[in-house]
Amino acid sequence: MMSVQLSDNARTVLERRYLAKDSEGRVIESPEELVQRVARNIAAVDAHYGADVKEIAATESAFTEIMDRLEFLPNSPTLMNAGRELQQLSACFVLPVEDSMEAIFEAVKNAALIHKSGGGTGFAFSRLRPQNDKVLSTGGVASGPISFMKVFNAATEAVKQGGTRRGANMGILRVDHPDILDFITCKQDPRELTNFNISVGVTEVFMQAVEEGASYDLINPRTNEPCGRLNARDVFNKIVEMAWLNGEPGIIFLDRLNEHNPTPHVGEIESTNPCGEQPLLPYESCNLGSINLGKFTMGNDLDWERLRKVVHLAIHFLDNVIDANRYPLPEIEDMTKANRKVGLGVMGFADMLIQRGIAYDTQVAIDAAREVMGFIQQEARQASMELAQERGPFPNFKGSIYDNGKTPPLRNATITTIAPTGTISIIAGASSGIEPLFAVAYTRTVMDNDELIEVHPLFEQLAKEHGFYSPELMKTVARKGSVRGIDEVPDWVQDLFATAHDITPEQHVGIQAAFQEFTDNAVSKTVNLAHEATQADVARVFREAYRLGCKGITIYRDGSRQGQVLAVTKEEPKTAAPSEVPKTVVRPRPQVTTGRTQRIPTAHGNMYVTINEDEYGICEVFAQTGKTGGDAAANNEAIARLISTALRAGIPVEDIIKQLRGIRSSAPVWFNGGMVLSGPDGIAIALERYLHWRNTGQEMQSIQTALDTAAPAGECPDCGSILRYEEGCNNCPQCGYSRCS
């Protein structure tokens, strides 16, 4: 009897996002039934290629087994939709954006249809004429690519994806586009383009000019003629500065993508999917799945025979998905079936290393990456060749880079991709993709505000086996995140359990490059930098990625995005003994104050916040909610009284705002271009608006909300848990939310 072995967290994620529900939202499917549904739907494709009922049943059984054992899982849309009404099985798409108003808004419409079906989209805006360029048809001037990116962003915001996910986009601009400097800085304000990841499309000419300190030409895409020059090193430094500031833009090495474009006779690669690992032609979609490497470990080696079998089954599965899929646009169906690209990748790489006794930040780990991905690449190509013999090569094979008469035809134009595995790695109980552990242990807050310590099972197992386990140690590890520097943990265990911030940037890039060497498409990975990292450190990462043959690179400096909620906390400083704590005198309320009252909407009705000050500054706050009282009104009044006491005790109002801002209730409401997350958040907003009015004499035109800043960088908007920035995106380890998919 089949029984998927899942953690409690994995079952929660499945129930929330994947399992079928009835019209009232009740789960009507078990995890085992999900696996059977997907396996049955995908195996049925074999009938198109002459398989009989018995053969199809055998394929279904094999597909069921590898998913049931959590050895392989397809991308999320396949798990969600295979065998159900939507039947849209692809995660990511690339759409063209041509230089006309009609084409631009056709792309907006197509993106909305894709987002509605559950996919993410990539765009190259490099064909759009630059800002202030001529528009001959109207006699006016062009508004430029960035203005149209905002249109795409707004459309994405308006579309909910099938009730489960919100759309995400990748925006790419060539480094030789005249608007490149504006593009590099377009996300400096964290409230702008919140539904986009952005990357600069870098060319070989540009990188050579960077090394030489030379200038390079800017090319007007309307005329294809030079229209100016910039110093390459200055532009590179601006990219570095912005990436250091908040993690964007990333870099995509465009010429390198096209050097490995399998079908150059069909078109040029201009963009990728939202996380950057899947370069695609216009109107192509990606079809991904991942092998859980931790399931194949045998002592200090791998079960290579079992891995070979699963690789072949996975390629068979992914090729079938192309035919089982229901595409959102006919152009996408035509292009996808003409090239039949699939992307088989891995998850659980960090788990595999730990099980084999290999520290992530060593040359041995790089060698292990090359070994395992080289094997997967070889066997996946062999499987694709065998499918081509049975079913025929992909239709665009003639004229492709494989059409050389030296090797047998392939069924699929690309075969391997290292993709983000956010939610499927939670389901599989595996570490994400090829990333190191984010933390060995962390604290999770559950619904009743109880705190639970989540410990990596391999660490807990070793701690118990070797006699250094204790609940107090687990709490220490959860506070610190890493085990390095903790005396109670043996040195060899400290070495083995490297976390993202224990690892040098060079080692991060080295692992990515090792996988890239044996990957047809690209590799999704984040180079995590300490908060103290310099812009020179970022520049060194970019140059190293270029030198080692990566196709793109993403960095993230810890805490660099406004409002980030860290996944692990710093050690608390030792506090003075109670007798040493200084007393603070609260000055009495003044006889005369001046101020103003603001109306702030909340889920419990309008809240009227009165802010008064005297000659020393703001001294009191009153908050009255509605007319009927109740718990919310009482809480807001109590908070306001405490704020008044704190203000008259000399606490800066900015510190009070910082403490209240972003506190989230179950029912936030929209207000003045942003969102009021709760009563306390509303009081903080009122204080912010008062300071703005007092300092400028003007009303604040919109509010800067925790939804816009904190949630994308640190707090899950679905469940409120801490997000992790890895695999090029913000992911929730609890509910499976991903900012990019």
Residue 284 annotated as catalytic: no
H helices present in 44-100, as ranges: 53-68, 76-81
**DSSP state at residue 177:** S
Residue 275 annotated as catalytic: yes
Whose tokens are 């203000």? That residue is 647
Q: Which of 275, 716, 729, 732 is catalytic?
A: 275
Instruction: Give the whole-angstrom CA distance, residue 562 versus residue 548.
Output: 32
Q: What is the Cα 95 distance to its own chain's centre? A: 20
Structure tokens belonging to residue 61: 């059984």
Q: Angle at which helices 679-696 and 653-660 pack, to 10 degrees?
A: 140
Burial (Cβ within 10 Å: 0-12, 13-18, ≥19) of residue 579: exposed
Q: How far is CA 487 from CA 467, 468, 476, 522, in A?
A: 14, 11, 11, 40
Structure tokens belonging to residue 410: 């392939």
Q: How far is CA 659 from CA 598, 624, 656, 684, 727, in A?
A: 20, 20, 5, 9, 30
**DSSP state at residue 691:** H
Whose tokens are 């007393």? That residue is 583
What is the amino acid identity at position 239?
I
Cβ proximity of 124 and 201 under 8 Å: yes
Q: Angle at which helices 31-43 and 8-17 pack, to 10 degrees?
A: 60
Which has the closest alpha carbon to 384: 315, 303, 324? 315
Q: How far is CA 50 from CA 47, 478, 733, in A?
A: 5, 55, 43
Q: Angle at which helices 631-648 and 653-660 pack, to 10 degrees?
A: 150
Which has the closest alpha carbon to 419: 328, 342, 346, 493? 346
Q: Which of 277, 435, 620, 727 is catalytic?
A: 277
Instruction: Give the whole-angstrom CA distance, residue 558 versus residue 481.
Output: 13
Sign of CA dihedral 539, 281, 369, 741: positive
As beta bridge partners, residue 594 has 613
Residue 277 annotated as catalytic: yes
Instruction: Give the whole-angstrom CA distance, residue 282 versus residue 268.
Output: 8
Q: Which amino acids are annotated catalytic?
A: 273, 275, 277
